[in-house]
């Protein structure tokens, strides 16, 4: 089976939802699927340099091939005329397309081309059909949907949601299509020895006996930092001992990021916090190794890849009930879940900080659940079953 994955960008700067293709593709290849990924060299919307990659030619990577195309003429919208022209010529060579994004010009045009060439396609909306997300730029999105995306949804062989809750609440604009609920996968971090954890604590000035609360995600209004910061201030006021690490960035809204940083620097949290910016590689793994609690009080989150990454690292999580894998967290006792409220968040974090044995128990549960349910091998098997139902082998 030959599968074409189409995604506007796979740059780290856009976070886990875009990056998931790089986890799924090699897992599919291990099961005998031929995979080609097409994308742009987009690497941010505010003056960042494009990805330094070969353009318009296949790059072999982990058993599959990936083609990058120059992001032009609409860089902000991650569009590529070269990608569109390539797809028109080569769509007929594939059995199925898996398109990752909605309300993105390159994915919208790709779906139209697939329909024209009778290539079955799956759409993964990346949370954009969530009513909370649709309220942002509401009129523009509803107009876009009426003119373009409703047809793309209606013509899809299936819509790929990453949680039951995402599928349940998502708007379909009156369209009836098959739903696929397949979670995202995560790769367990490669931890070094205990000395590395101590080293990162020393580098950040965190004593070994002080619990670390880690926020590692995009610094975005939907992530609930307006609840988390006052909750942490209240914890300090009642005498809780902790160190807060804020790891993340927002290249698409740097003003918001700077406002959050200024808020922390001008509060009692300043002497109890470290702001790292965007992290990856060894530093990311070291922070996960050093963390005692992971926190993400999002207003809406169709899956929460950062939560799954923390779980597979053995960290108990404190999340809102709007992170759509919250039911799995509750059932597996992998952390603490509560509604969107400052005092509720204070209570959850206090319970986690004051009970190290319970933190350890829930961290072990989290890791066991994530390894069983969020491994790329498990996700690949589910995905291939879906592909075969849509396009049975001859």
Torsion sign across C-alpha atoms 214, 218, 224, 229: positive
Tokens of 72: 């032009």
How does pLDDT run across 315-357, given as a tens digit for each residue? 999 999 999 999 999 999 999 999 999 999 999 999 999 999 9
The CATH classification number of 194-373 equals 3.40.50.2000
The predicted model scores a pTM of: 0.86
**Domain at 2-185+376-390, CATH homologous superfamily:** Glycogen Phosphorylase B; (3.40.50.2000)
Tokens of 64: 């599959």
Does 205 or 339 have the greater pLDDT score? 339
Instruction: State how far the Cα of 267 lies from the Cα of 277, in Å rounded to an integer.
Output: 19
Angle, vertex CA 387, rays to CA 35 and CA 166, nearest 5: 105
**pLDDT for 192 beyond 70:** no
- The percent of residues in the chain predicted with pLDDT above 90, rounded, is 76
173 φψ region: left (φ > 0), alpha (ψ -120 to 50), beta (else): left
Fold agreement between 2-185+376-390 and 194-373? yes
**pLDDT for 195 beyond 60:** no
Q: Which helix (H) or strand (E) holds 296?
A: strand 293-296
Instruction: Name which of 223, 215, 290, 281 is nearest 248 in CA terms.
Output: 215
**pLDDT for 215 beyond 60:** yes
pLDDT of residue 191: 66
3-state secondary structure of 244: strand
In the chain, domain spans: 2-185+376-390, 194-373
Query: Confidence band (pLDDT; 50, 70, 90) for 201?
Result: confident
Q: What is the mean pLDDT of residues 43-69?
A: 90
Q: Are 39 and 68 in contact (CB under 8 A)?
A: yes
- The percent of residues in the chain predicted with pLDDT above 70, rounded, is 96
Q: How deeply is 361 buried, as exposed, middle or buried, from its count of CB atoms within 10 A (0-12, 13-18, 19+)? A: middle
Per DSSP, 69 falls in state E
How does pLDDT run across 76-106, given as a tens digit for each residue? 778 999 999 999 999 999 999 999 999 999 9
Q: How deeply is 239 buried, as exposed, middle or buried, from its count of CB atoms within 10 A (0-12, 13-18, 19+)? A: exposed
**pLDDT for 15 beyond 80:** no
Q: Are 37 and 69 in contact (CB under 8 A)?
A: no
H-assigned helices in the chain: 16-30, 81-90, 105-116, 131-134, 138-144, 150-155, 164-169, 194-204, 225-237, 254-265, 281-290, 305-312, 326-332, 342-353, 356-373, 376-390
């Amino acid at each position: 089976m030959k599968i074409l994955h189409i995604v506007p960008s796979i740059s780290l700067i856009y976070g886990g939802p875009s990056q998931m293709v790089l986890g799924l593709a090699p897992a599919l290849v291990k099961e005998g699927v031929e995979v080609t990924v097409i994308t742009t060299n987009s690497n941010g919307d505010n003056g960042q340099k494009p990805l330094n990659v070969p353009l318009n030619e296949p790059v072999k990577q982990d058993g599959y091939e990936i083609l990058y195309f120059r992001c032009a003429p609409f860089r902000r919208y991650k569009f590529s005329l070269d990608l569109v022209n390539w797809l028109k010529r080569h769509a007929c060579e594939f059995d199925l397309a898996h398109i990752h994004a909605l309300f993105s010009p390159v994915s919208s045009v790709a779906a139209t081309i697939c329909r024209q060439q009778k290539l079955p396609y799956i759409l993964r909306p990346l949370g954009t059909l969530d009513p909370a997300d649709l309220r942002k730029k509401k009129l523009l999105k509803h107009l876009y949907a009426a003119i373009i995306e409703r047809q793309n949804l209606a013509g899809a062989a299936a819509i790929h949601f990453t949680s039951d809750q995402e599928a349940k609440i998502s708007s379909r604009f009156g369209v009836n299509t098959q739903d696929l609920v397949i979670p995202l996968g995560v790769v367990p971090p490669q931890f070094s020895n205990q000395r590395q954890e101590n080293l990162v604590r020393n580098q950040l000035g965190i004593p070994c006996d002080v619990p670390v609360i880690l926020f590692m995600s995009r610094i975005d209004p939907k992530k609930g930092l307006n609840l988390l910061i006052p909750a942490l201030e209240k914890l300090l006021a009642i005498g809780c001992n902790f160190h807060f690490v804020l790891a993340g960035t927002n290249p698409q809204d740097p003003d918001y990021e700077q406002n959050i940083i200024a808020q922390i620097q001008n509060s009692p949290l300043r002497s109890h916090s470290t702001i790292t910016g965007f992290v990856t590689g060894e530093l990311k793994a070291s922070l996960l190794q050093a963390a005692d609690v992971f926190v993400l009080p999002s207003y809406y989150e169709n899956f929460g890849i950062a939560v799954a990454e923390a779980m597979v690292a053995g960290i108990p999580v404190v999340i809102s009930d709007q992170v759509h894998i919250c039911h799995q967290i509750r059932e597996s006792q992998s952390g603490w879940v509560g509604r969107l409220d400052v005092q509720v968040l204070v209570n959850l974090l206090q319970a986690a900080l004051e009970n190290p044995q319970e933190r350890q128990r829930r961290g072990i549960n989290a890791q066991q659940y994530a390894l069983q349910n969020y491994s790329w091998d498990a996700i690949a098997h589910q995905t291939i079953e879906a592909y075969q139902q849509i396009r049975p082998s001859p």
